[in-house]
Amino acid sequence: MSKQNQWVVGLNAVASSIEHDAEHVREVLVEAGGKNARVTEIEENARRKGIDVRRVSTQALDGVAGGVRHQGVAARYAAAKTWDENELAGLVEAAEGKALLLVLDGVQDPHNLGACLRSAAAAGATAVVIPKDKSATVNATVRKTSAGAADRLPVVAVTNLSRCLRDLQKLGVWIYGLAGEADTSLYAQDLRGNVALVLGGEADGLRRLTREHCDGLVKIPMPGDIESLNVSVAAGVTLFEAVRQRQ
């Protein structure tokens, strides 16, 4: 895992980073004169865990938040965990035949990526795989939208998504892509073993090469008169169908 400094902002994201990954939180900034009870709770928890807390102006918080709504609190984080591609095989093997991977083929909106990570963490996914290019990265917006999931869930950025899918197949992972024109319903597909669920980006869906590396394409049945779902909603529906089958 590589590490770099970055700022985490917002009540949920900061509270989660202190709770789940305190050793990598370097300091917490809170708005001077703020009256929010959650901020006070975060401040007390940080001090209990030996993390430096500084009271700063709203302008200082605006500066580190970079346009993201900070709700009066930010944390300087030295982790920003990014998992290396070569760690993916170990994660799959450790899942002992029950790996559940979410693969996002070019999701570019940080809010969508954050929401996908949140759903993946809630579903107990093994990891989320994203391409290094033409994809949102795990930045402050993603961390905030993910409500702490970005701290708890391996997010693996890969150089070549098609090659990664091939490597996963060699590890015994079945790859299913979500496509509106597919003949098979998601609900008819067996999702109980090692499975990777692949969703395309907001504009174009799955890229051609990505499709060609899937073992099968499935669709979410939509009786209503709408062509497609938001990618984060589709990710939630798909992941939790796998969860339902596995229980």
Domain CATH code at residue 176: 3.40.1280.10
Both 43 and 160 in a single domain?
no
What CATH number does the domain containing 13 carry?
3.30.1330.30
For residue 235, is it within any domain?
yes
pLDDT band for position 150 (50/70/90)? confident
Both 15 and 63 in a single domain?
yes
User: Per-residue pLDDT averaged across 205-221, rounded?
Assistant: 94
User: Which segments are annotated as binding site?
Assistant: 200, 220, 229
77, 96, 115 - which closes a domain: 77
Q: Hey, is 138 helix, strand or coil?
A: coil
User: Per-residue pLDDT averaged across 124-149, rounded?
Assistant: 85
pTM, two decimal places: 0.75
55, 77, 99 - which closes a domain: 77
Angle at Cα 115 formed by Cα 40 and Cα 80, nearest 5°? 65
Query: What's the total number of domains in the chain?
Result: 2
Both 163 and 97 in a single domain?
yes
Both 30 and 115 in a single domain?
no
Both 239 and 126 in a single domain?
yes
Pairwise pLDDT comparison (5 vs 155), residue with the higher score: 155
CA 204 to the chain's CA centroid: 20
Percentage of the chain exceeding pLDDT 70: 96
For residue 39, is it within any domain?
yes
Both 211 and 122 in a single domain?
yes
Alpha carbon distances (Å) from 147 to 30, 70, 88, 93:
18, 13, 23, 27
Both 29 and 60 in a single domain?
yes
The pairing of beta strand 174-178 with beta strand 25-31: unpaired
pLDDT at position 80 is: 52
Q: Of 32-36, 79-83, 124-128, 145-149, which range is least confident? A: 79-83
Q: Structural domain of residue 19, as residue ranges?
A: 6-77
For residue 145, is it within any domain?
yes
User: Which segments are annotated as binding site for S-adenosyl-L-methionine?
Assistant: 200, 220, 229
43, 77, 111 - which closes a domain: 77
Mean pLDDT score of the chain, rounded to an integer?
A: 90
Strands (E) located in 106-234: 127-131, 155-158, 174-178, 184-185, 195-200, 216-219
Both 113 and 177 in a single domain?
yes
Both 167 and 198 in a single domain?
yes
Q: Give per-residue pLDDT as tens, 159-184.
A: 999 999 999 999 999 999 999 889 99
For residue 153, is it within any domain?
yes
Q: Of 19-23, 51-55, 204-208, 216-220, which range is least confident? A: 19-23
Both 191 and 109 in a single domain?
yes
Both 138 and 236 in a single domain?
yes
For residue 211, is it within any domain?
yes
For residue 1, is it within any domain?
no
pLDDT at position 2 is: 42
Both 58 and 96 in a single domain?
no
Q: Which of 181, 224, 173 is nearest to 200 (CA)?
A: 181
pLDDT at position 3 is: 45
- The rounded distance, in Å, linking the Cα atoms of 224 and 221 is 9
User: Would you say how long the chain is, in residues?
Assistant: 247
